[in-house]
Structure 1
Amino acid sequence: MLDDVQVVAFDIFGTVVDWRTGITEQVGAVFADRGVALDPAGFADSWRDRYLPAMARVDRGEREWATLDALHRESLDELLAERGIAEAVGEADRARLVRAWHRLPAWPDSADLLARLRTRYVVVALSNGGFRLLTDLLKAAELTVDAITSAELARSYKPSPAAYLTTARLLDVEPHRLLLVAAHRWDVDGARAAGLRTAFLERPGEKGPHREADRAADVTCDIAATSAAELATRLGC
């Protein structure tokens, strides 16, 4: 059914890297330095909760284009003020926290998955992260892809069609020859609506122990896998 697929595009945050562990650890380090007595994991969750709404405002034209770093900074400033710790966390710390999204650990099986798929497909990163963010992130996590296709190139955020179709255009493939792999239903739904093929990869720990991650049973897609090894096998690698 997927013999015509030539390019496999991976969502990054949550699918390839463990954003929650990475952000929690780095928030915790800043809070410890500044004597802030807030739960770092809860703060990381609240910060991430602002991710989709911030990008949606850009795509609806309610504000001009801004990179994910800029959106992360705006939501961080708002959250610090709401939690009453704006004075404790200064400019240098805020810049450090925004850059934390450039330094996140890969899931233990991600490097092997990418390597296996690259033996058969062109494998690319298709993320809402900015081009520099993704360059830093993949380098630091020692992950190898054939290309980066940031939403910054489309100046439109997933799940808007332009983010997916710009990737297809840049790689000179028809949308149905491009397969998106993601651990999020909203991303799979957006790619499918844009005419891409889709694969859902379960990442049960993506949202931590107290929130339920998206499950394959709830997602409409071409391939659903509960592990990276299963996904690679299903894709013939």
Structure 2
Amino acid sequence: MGIDSIHQTAIKAFVFDVFGTVVDWRSGVAREAQPFLQRHAPNLDASDFADAWRREYSPAMEEVRSGRRAYVRLDVLHRENLVKVLARFGIANVPEPEIDELNLAWHRLDPWPDAVDALRRLKARFIIAPLSNGNIRLMVDIAKRAGLPWDAILGAEVVRAYKPSPLVYSETAEILGIAPRELCLVAAHNNDLAAARRVGLRTAFVVRPTEHGPRQTSDLKADEAWDFIVDDLHELATQLGCAR
């Protein structure tokens, strides 16, 4: 997309998927789980454990999205999912404080190498904020640890709905006081971008080919002609004319 086309879009804010797009959840959860597993399941691979925990993510949110369950924040779902995964692996008799502590693994994730500096570049010209299914405290803790320079914390808990529910995207534009076409979602997941586009948001795909580890098979390329398709967030900032 050329600079003239970019100006025509009149984008005023960029919001970001966080898990997988801005931070490396798999490595972080595996790292945080390793000491726990050494105590309780020393033969269990920490990355396999992280993957199993993550597989419960979408089904748990679907209970809320479908209306079968009232909204609860992601920290609650993560802990319930953790208890399920512990049982599945036969890990029993874990003290409740240990489970609570392990659940905080999601609060201590590292950013991808390009994320912090590229976000600072974008922040100089645009409003930037997370648009994550993570709850507010979760997003704050990740941001403070990683140095993510958000202007605001937005996302699921603010609107009390989970992506890809249309309300998450449309209400975020409303909260920012802008039209949907003036808001761009940045994500490494085609389904997230498709949902955002359906309610009028601009879209930016960034490839994260190792989000799910070395054998990742999903989201290795853009499935549609998104407004921006980039290899990392610095490329996005450069296309938008943001200074280094």
Q: Normalization by structure 2: what TM-score?
A: 0.93
Match of 2:193 in 1: 188
Residue aligning to 2:46? 40
Match of 1:16 in 2: 22
Contact 1:200 1:219 in 2 (8 A): no
Provide the C-alpha distance between the structure 2 equivalents of 1:191 and 1:22, rounded to a whole number of angstroms: 27
Contact kept, 8 Å, 1:175 with 1:196, in 2: the verdict is yes
DSSP 3-state at the match of 1:2: helix
Q: Distance in 2 between matches of 1:67 and 1:13?
A: 15
For residues 148 and 213 of structure 1, what CA distance do their matches in structure 2 show?
A: 28
CA shift in 2, pair 1:217/1:129, >3 Å: closer
Alignment check: 8 A CA contact 2:185 2:203 kept: yes
Aligned length: 236
**Cross-structure match for 1:130:** 135
- Alignment deviations for residues 190-232 of structure 1 (CA, whole Å, 9 cap, x no partner): 1111210000001111111122241234244111111222111
SS of residue matched to 1:181: strand
Quote the residue 2:178 is aligned against.
Answer: 173
1:82 and 2:88 matched: yes
Deviation, structure 1 residue 30: 0.8
Q: Distance in 1 between matches of 2:181 and 2:44?
A: 46
**Is structure 2 residue 12 aligned with structure 1 residue 6?**
yes
Give the superposition deviation at 1:118: 1.0
Letter of the aligned partner of 2:212 in structure 1? K
How many angstroms apart in 2 are the aligned matches of 1:63 and 1:45?
24
Structure 2 distance, partners of 1:39, 1:220, is: 38
SS at match of 2:125: coil
Between the aligned partners of 1:96 and 1:186, the Cα distance in structure 2 is: 31
Equivalent positions of 1:1-237 (< 5 A) are 1-3=5-7, 4-87=10-93, 89-237=94-242
How far does the alpha carbon of each residue in 1:158-194 deviate from its partner, in whole angstroms, 9 at most, with x for none? 1111111121111100011000000111111111112
Amino acid at match of 2:21: T
Structure 1 stretch displaced more, 107-116 or 26-35: 26-35
TM-score normalised by the chain length of structure 1: 0.95
Does the 8 Å contact 2:205/2:222 carry over to 1? no
Whole-angstrom CA distance in 2 between matches of 1:143 and 1:127 = 14
Q: Give the unaligned 5+ runs of structure 1.
A: none
Give RMSD over aligned pairs.
1.3
**Residue 53 of structure 1, CA deviation:** 1.5
Contact 2:107–2:139 (8 Å) recurs in 1: yes
Identity of matched residues, %: 47
Q: 1:140–1:17: structure 2 CA closer, same or farther, 3 Å change rule?
A: same
